[in-house]
Amino acid sequence: MIPLDHPRYRSLQTREHLADCAREGIVSLEGLTAHGRGEAFDYLLGEKTTDSALCAERTAAALLRAARRPIFSVNGNTAALAAPLIAHLQEVSRLPVEVNLFHRTNERMQKITAHLESHGVQVLTGTAERLLPLSHDRAWCLRKGLYEADTVLVPLEDGNRATALRGMGKQVIAIDLNPLSRTAKAATLTIVDELTRALPHLIEAFSQLSLEECQDLVAHLDNRYFLYSALEEMKRRLDHGLD
Ligand code: ATP
CB 140 within 8 A of CB 129: yes
The minimum-distance atom of ligand 1 relative to the CA of 162 is: 3
36: closest CA among 65, 56, 15?
A: 15
In a domain, 124, yes or no: yes
Nearest CA to ligand 1 atom 15: 156
- Has residue 200 been placed in a domain? yes
Ligand 1 mean position, distance from CA 210 (Å): 32
139-145 long-range contacts, Cβ below 8 Å, gap at least 24? 140/100, 140/104, 141/98, 141/100, 142/98, 145/71, 145/96, 145/98
Site to substitute for ligand 1 among 73, 176, 199, 202, most atoms within 8 A of C-beta: 176
CATH number at residue 95: 3.40.50.12640
Host domain of residue 221: 51-239
pLDDT digits (tens, 9 = 90+) for 22-31: 999 999 999 9
- Is there a domain that residue 207 lies in? yes
- CA 183 to ligand 1 centroid distance, Å: 8
pLDDT score at 182: 96
Tell whether 60 is covered by a domain. yes
Alpha carbon distance 68, 75 (integer Å): 23
Q: What does pTM read for this prediction?
A: 0.96
Is 24 part of any domain?
Answer: no
Q: What's the gap in Å between 26 CA and the centre of ligand 1? A: 17
Distance of CA 50 to CAs 164, 193, 194, Å?
A: 29, 8, 11
Q: What does the pLDDT read at residue 4?
A: 84
Residue nearest to atom 6 of ligand 1 (CA): 158
Ligand 1 site: residues with CB under 6 angstroms?
Answer: 34-35, 37-38, 41, 81, 156, 158-159, 175-178, 181-183, 194-195
What pLDDT does 146 receive?
Answer: 96
82: three-class secondary structure by DSSP: helix
pLDDT band at 166 (very low <50, low <70, confident <90, very high): very high
DSSP, res 122: P
Asked if the structure places residue 15 within a domain, the reply is no
| Residue 9 confidence (pLDDT) above 90 | no
Tell me, yes or no, whether 103 lies in a domain. yes
Q: Is the pLDDT of residue 136 over 80?
A: yes
DSSP classification of residue 139: G
For the cut 90, the answer to whether the pLDDT of residue 214 exceeds it is yes
Domain count for the chain: 1
Q: Which residues touch 49 (CB under 8 Å, ≥6 apart)?
A: 57, 193, 197, 198, 201
pLDDT digits (tens, 9 = 90+) for 90-118: 999 999 999 999 888 999 999 999 999 99
Best of 29, 181, 194 for a ligand 1 pocket test (most atoms within 8 Å of beta carbon): 181
3-state SS class at 134: coil
Distance 175 CA to ligand 1 centre (A): 8
Q: 3-state class of 117 per DSSP?
A: helix
The kind and range of the H/E element at 70 are strand 70-74
How does residue 135 score in pLDDT terms, banded at 50, 70 and 90? confident
Q: pLDDT at position 1, please?
A: 79
Residue 8 falls within a domain, yes or no? no
Cα of 211 from ligand 1 centre, angstroms: 32
| pLDDT score recorded for residue 6 | 83
